[in-house]
Structure 1
Amino acid sequence: MATIRDVAKRAGVSVATVSRVLNETGYVHADTKAAVIKAIKELNYKPNYVARSLYKKSSRLIGLILPDITNPFFPELARAVEDVAHQYGYTVVLCNSDGDLEKEKNYLDVLTQNHADGLIVTTNRQNNMNYIDLDIPVVALDRTLHESIPEVRADHYGGGKMATELLIQRGCTFIAHVRGPSQLGPADERCRGFVNAAEQAGIAYHIVESQFDIPISEQTVSELLDTYPQIDGIFAGNDLIAVAAVKVALKRGISIPEELQVVGFDGIPLSACFYPAITTIVQPIYEMGKWATELLIQLITKKNIAAKTHCFPVKLAERETTKRMG
Structure 2
Amino acid sequence: MAPVSVFAAEPQLICFGNEPSWGLQFSEQGRARLLLPEQKPLDYRGRETRLDFLKERAWRGKPASGKGGEVVAFLRESACSDGMSNTTHPVTVRVSLPDSRLLAGCCRIPVSSNATSAPVPIAFEGPTWQLAAPGAQSAGVDASEKRSVTALFEGGRVSGFSGCNRFMGSYTLDRDSVLIGPLAGTMMACPEPQMAIEKAFLGALTGTLRHAISGDRLTLTPATGAPLVFQVEPAPMLQGVNWSVTGFNNGRQAVVGPLLGTTLTLTFDQGQVYGSSGCNTYRAAYTSEGNRLAIGPVASTRKACSAEGVMQQEREFLAAIESVKVWTISGGMLDIHRADGERVLNAIKAAR
- What TM-score comes out, normalization by structure 2 length? 0.27
Larger Rg: 1
Q: Which has the higher contact order (CA 8 A, sep 6+)?
A: 1
Structure whose residues are more often helix by fraction? 1
Structure whose residues are more often strand by fraction? 2
